[in-house]
Every structure is written in structure tokens, then in C-alpha cells.
């Protein structure tokens, strides 16, 4: 009996030792299912995502951090998850993850960045490189960002030197790490810049003189996107104009699909291999500079960092439909068994009446918006609009009843926040597929289905 007890004690100690080791490591799954798995020390895994902005940096309500928050299957939630807190029997453990999913770039994204930067340097030193120049005067910041990011991918894939024109004030918004300030109008040789400006302003009068220049316009309606699905043989200077997201088309392109997969595929929490394209691009290209970032963080620190779950409610036009659909979604979540019971609402709207109506509807809830919104009455493409845009991604959940608005695509991708668009069943959020909670931007191409099928290459 002594030997048996001694053996059991040794086995128990061995089990505790193994569990101790498991706490020091995080399983990082490869985006390619055939490659198996690899292990990284937890501190190395944390360094990958610790510098990336995320709504998960907000303190989580303590009753959301129940023991066993990694769910019934024991799946690891990533390095940003708080491992222990007060248990709560009323919150199903499997639902907690939507508030704390960590920001992770695809494993191949760093290689993509290096390759693109090297391509820009190499082509800039050539005498007559092939250019891709994105030229789009913003008619909505969201549209400008989606079109620019798509054009940048196109330049990378086709081996063209990239530059952009049309929004010279963007460098007042973005941080020094964004390459866009290096690749704006001044990046172009002066004569080429003047030729492009002349061509875009007077295309009919200058067409004969521009035999080496071509203008590709990708509209929301119609079949113009089909041109990027072919071999893409264009003239030496290609000017691209678009306010739509067409970068996802390259995933299905026979010439470029493998490069896109290598750069942007990763394994999500539910073990599905997903294409994570726009989120890492938005963090690299469109993150705010230090001054604007401080303004945003001051507001977040004063109003959204609390013991509550934060919900951003977008009422773009302040319409009755936006209000009713948004309220229905919030009420469904608050009535769900997984909801923690406390709430703060950030209202994003150009309508002061909409903001005040939301506040009056939830008298016991902290309903808030920034003081600078007092001057907002209509759509403007300025720094205030940019700050307001980013704030919609700073909540744990964004409710956007106007699902077609591109205004919130960038912030929810950048900060990796859960987004609810249109009218889903909001009470089922924690149990929806990963790609529905953290979706790629909607391409919005061929809205009238004039091409006879959903846009793809």
C-alpha cells in the first residue's frame, strides 16, 4: 500500500509540473493546416501583439473573466487574456472570448511589408519604372481608405511603383510608421505629377498626348472590377480611381492567389483558416499619429475604461430606422444569459438629436460622446471625422444598423472589435462563426448584379 501511495503521489506531482510548464507556453497554430503546430514561449508570443492597438486593452468586467474562460474545449485564447478573476456562474464560459480575442497579424504579413518596401526602393531607383498611382479625392474617408489599400495590393502584386494623390492632409493624421506619407504626391517626379493631374482633370483634351498612361476606374456598380481579374497588362503609367474594397478579389486570381495566401492567411480561434487582409493593412497604413492618438486615448480613458462592456452605436444619419434597429440589438444582448449586466454606450452620429435620444432611452446607462462632436453637423473629411471614425472601433462591440456604411470598416478591422451590421440575432453573438464577428470589408461591387454573379476572379 505504501508503494502504491508513493506512486500516486509521484504521478500527481508530475501532473502539477506539466501543468506548470503549460502556463509558460502559448500554442501558436500555423495558417497552413499541413504544417502542424509550433510552440513559442509566452513572453515571445506577447511581444508579437502587445504593441498593437486593441479594444482588449480596455479593462474587462470582472464577471467576464470567469475561471475556465477558454471555453469547454480548452482552446487557448491567446496571450492577451487575463487568466484568473472572480468566477460567475451566470456567464457561460464559452461566450467570454468575444470580449478578449487578441490582435494577431498573419504570420506572413511582416514578409509582405518587407517585400513591398524593397520593391518601392528598387523601382524608385530605375529610370522609367511602371507606376500605379492611386488618385481619389475623398468623398468619405472610409471609401478613400478601402480604395487606397486595394490599389496598394495591386501595385505589389503587379510589380509597379506605388504613389497616391488626392488627400494631401492625410499625413497630418497618420503616425510616422505609416509609409503613406513617403508615397504621396511628392514621391512622384514633378513632370509626372503634373501630367497625371492634367489627365485626371481633363481626360478628353489630353487623351491623345498620354499614350503611355491609362486610367482604371473601379466603380461600385457595373463590371469595371473585371479588369483586375485578367492578366492586368496596362500601360506604363496606370492611374487607379476607386472608393471600393477590391483587394479581396486577388485571393481568387489565378496569378496571385498563392502570394495572397502566404501573406494574409492565418488560423482563427475556431481553427478555421481565414483570409485576414484589411486588418493588418489598416494598422500599418492608417493608424493615428501621436497627437491624435492621445486625444482618442484621453476620451477612452475617461469614458470607456470601466467595469462595463462598451458598445459603440453608430447612427450615421440619425434616422428612425437606425435608432430602432440599434436599440433592438442592444436590448437583445442585454437580455441574453451571457451578458454581464453593466453597459456603457458610445454614440457615433452626425445628428445631435440621435445622440440625445439614445441617452434619454437608457437613463440608467452611461451614454457618452466626445465634446468635439458638438460642432459636427454634416459629413466632412477632416481630422474630427477621422477621430470619430477610430472611436467606433474602441468599444468591445460596434452596433452599426447601417451595414452599408464604409465608415466603420477601418476602425473595427484596425482594433479587432466585434461588429454587428444590419439586423442579425444579437443575442447569439458569442456563438457565431469567427468570420462573421470579425469580417473583411464588404466589397460592395456589382450591387445591381449587372455581371450576373457575385464579384470574384
Same domain, 113 and 95: no
CA 28 – CA 42 distance, rounded (Å): 10
Q: For residue 85, give its domain range.
A: 24-99
Same domain, 255 and 114: yes
Q: What are the two backbone dihedrals, phi and then psi, of residue 310, each rounded to the nearest 5 degrees?
A: -95, 135
Is this model's pTM higher than 0.85 or not?
no
**pLDDT (mean) for 252-264:** 96
348, containing H or E segment: strand 343-349
Residue-wise pLDDT tens digits, 35-86: 222 222 222 333 333 344 455 455 554 434 333 333 323 232 222 222 222 2
Q: Bigger pLDDT: 66 or 171?
A: 171
CA 412 – CA 142 distance, rounded (Å): 12
- Of the residues 78, 99, 120, the one at which a domain ends: 99
- Pull the grid cell for residue 55: 479594444
Whether residue 344 contacts residue 310, with contact meaning beta carbons closer than 8 Å, is answered with: yes
**pLDDT (mean) for 85-89:** 24
Same domain, 143 and 222: yes
Same domain, 203 and 342: no
Strand order in the sheet with 237-242: 161-165, 131-135, 237-242, 213-218
Classified as helix, coil or strand, 193 is helix
**Beta-carbon contacts of residue 127 (< 8 Å; ≥ 6 apart):** none
Comparing 1-15, 85-99, 259-273, which segment has the lowest mean pLDDT? 1-15
Per-state percent for the chain, helix, strand, coil, to nearest 5: 45, 15, 40
Same domain, 210 and 81: no
* pLDDT number for residue 359: 96
* pLDDT number for residue 209: 57
**pLDDT (mean) for 323-347:** 91
**pLDDT (mean) for 415-428:** 87
Same domain, 124 and 235: yes
| 246 pLDDT higher than 90 | yes
Per-residue confidence band for 121, with pLDDT thresholds at 50, 70 and 90: very high
**pLDDT (mean) for 186-196:** 91
- Pull the grid cell for residue 218: 473601379
Whether residue 226 contacts residue 247, with contact meaning beta carbons closer than 8 Å, is answered with: no
**pLDDT (mean) for 263-285:** 94
Same domain, 255 and 317: no
Mean pLDDT of the chain: 77
CA 160 – CA 140 distance, rounded (Å): 27
* Domain assignment present for 207: yes
Comparing 79-88, 118-127, 260-269, 293-302, which segment has the lowest mean pLDDT? 79-88
- Number of folded domains that form the chain: 3
Q: Cell numbers 504621396 label which residue?
A: 184
Same domain, 117 and 194: yes
CATH code, 312: 3.40.50.11350
* Domain assignment present for 446: no
CA 392 – CA 410 distance, rounded (Å): 9
* Domain assignment present for 453: no
* Domain assignment present for 181: yes
* Domain assignment present for 144: yes
Same domain, 54 and 139: no
Classified as helix, coil or strand, 25 is strand
Comparing 31-35, 110-114, 357-361, which segment has the lowest mean pLDDT? 31-35
Same domain, 303 and 334: yes
Whether residue 315 contacts residue 327, with contact meaning beta carbons closer than 8 Å, is answered with: no
Burial of 35 (0-12, 13-18, 19+ CB in 10 A): exposed
CA 142 – CA 392 distance, rounded (Å): 12
* Domain assignment present for 338: yes
322, containing H or E segment: helix 320-335
Same domain, 95 and 120: no
* Domain assignment present for 336: yes
CA 171 – CA 116 distance, rounded (Å): 20
Same domain, 222 and 258: yes
Classified as helix, coil or strand, 313 is strand
Q: What are the two backbone dihedrals, phi and then psi, of residue 133, each rounded to the nearest 5 degrees?
A: -115, 115
CA 213 – CA 173 distance, rounded (Å): 31
| Residue 5: count of CB within 10 angstroms of its CB | 9
* Domain assignment present for 6: no
CA angle at 165 for the pair 164 and 171, rounded to the nearest 5°: 80
* pLDDT number for residue 78: 29
CA 339 – CA 104 distance, rounded (Å): 25
Amino acid at each position: 500500500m505504501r508503494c502504491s501511495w508513493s506512486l500516486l503521489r509521484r504521478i500527481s506531482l508530475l501532473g502539477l509540473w506539466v501543468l506548470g510548464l503549460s502556463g509558460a507556453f502559448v500554442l501558436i497554430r500555423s495558417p497552413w493546416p499541413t504544417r502542424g503546430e509550433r510552440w513559442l514561449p509566452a513572453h515571445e508570443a506577447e511581444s508579437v501583439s502587445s504593441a498593437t492597438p486593441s479594444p482588449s486593452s480596455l479593462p474587462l468586467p470582472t464577471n467576464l473573466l470567469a475561471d475556465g474562460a477558454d471555453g469547454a474545449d480548452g482552446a487557448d485564447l491567446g496571450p492577451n487574456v487575463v487568466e484568473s478573476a472572480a468566477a460567475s456562474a451566470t456567464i457561460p464560459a464559452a461566450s467570454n472570448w468575444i470580449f478578449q480575442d487578441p490582435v494577431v497579424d498573419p504570420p506572413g504579413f511582416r514578409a509582405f511589408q518587407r517585400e513591398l518596401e524593397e520593391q518601392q526602393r528598387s523601382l524608385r531607383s530605375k529610370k522609367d519604372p511602371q507606376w500605379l498611382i492611386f488618385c481619389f479625392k475623398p468623398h468619405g474617408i472610409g471609401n478613400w481608405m478601402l480604395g487606397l489599400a486595394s490599389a496598394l495590393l495591386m501595385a505589389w502584386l503587379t510589380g509597379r511603383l506605388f504613389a497616391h494623390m488626392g488627400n494631401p492632409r492625410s499625413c497630418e493624421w497618420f503616425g510616422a510608421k505609416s509609409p503613406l506619407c513617403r508615397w504621396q504626391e511628392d514621391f512622384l517626379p514633378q513632370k509626372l505629377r503634373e501630367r497625371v493631374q492634367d489627365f485626371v482633370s481633363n481626360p478628353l483634351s489630353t487623351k491623345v498626348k498620354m499614350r503611355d498612361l491609362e486610367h482604371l476606374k473601379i466603380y461600385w456598380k457595373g463590371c469595371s472590377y473585371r479588369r483586375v481579374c485578367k492578366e492586368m497588362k496596362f500601360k506604363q503609367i496606370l492611374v487607379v480611381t476607386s472608393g471600393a474594397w477590391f483587394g479581396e478579389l486577388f485571393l481568387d486570381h489565378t496569378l496571385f492567389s498563392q502570394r495572397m495566401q502566404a501573406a494574409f492567411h492565418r488560423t482563427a480561434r475556431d481553427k478555421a483558416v481565414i483570409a485576414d487582409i484589411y486588418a493588418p493593412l489598416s494598422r500599418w497604413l492608417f493608424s493615428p499619429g501621436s497627437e491624435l492618438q492621445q486625444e482618442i486615448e484621453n476620451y477612452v480613458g475617461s469614458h470607456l475604461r470601466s467595469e462595463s462592456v462598451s458598445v459603440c452605436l453608430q447612427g450615421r444619419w440619425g434616422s428612425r430606422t437606425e435608432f430602432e434597429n440599434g436599440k433592438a440589438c442592444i436590448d437583445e444582448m442585454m437580455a441574453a444569459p451571457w451578458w454581464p449586466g453593466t453597459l456603457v454606450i458610445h454614440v457615433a452620429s452626425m445628428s445631435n438629436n440621435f445622440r440625445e435620444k439614445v441617452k434619454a432611452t437608457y437613463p440608467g446607462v452611461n451614454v457618452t460622446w466626445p465634446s468635439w462632436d458638438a460642432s459636427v453637423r454634416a459629413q466632412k473629411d477632416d481630422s474630427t471625422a477621422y477621430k470619430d471614425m477610430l472611436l467606433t472601433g474602441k468599444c468591445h462591440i460596434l452596433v452599426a444598423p447601417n451595414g452599408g456604411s464604409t465608415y466603420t470598416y477601418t476602425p473595427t478591422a484596425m482594433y479587432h472589435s466585434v461588429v454587428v451590421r444590419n439586423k442579425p440575432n444579437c443575442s447569439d453573438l458569442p456563438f457565431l462563426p469567427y468570420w462573421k464577428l470579425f469580417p473583411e470589408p464588404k466589397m460592395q461591387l456589382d450591387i445591381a448584379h449587372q455581371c450576373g454573379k457575385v464579384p470574384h476572379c
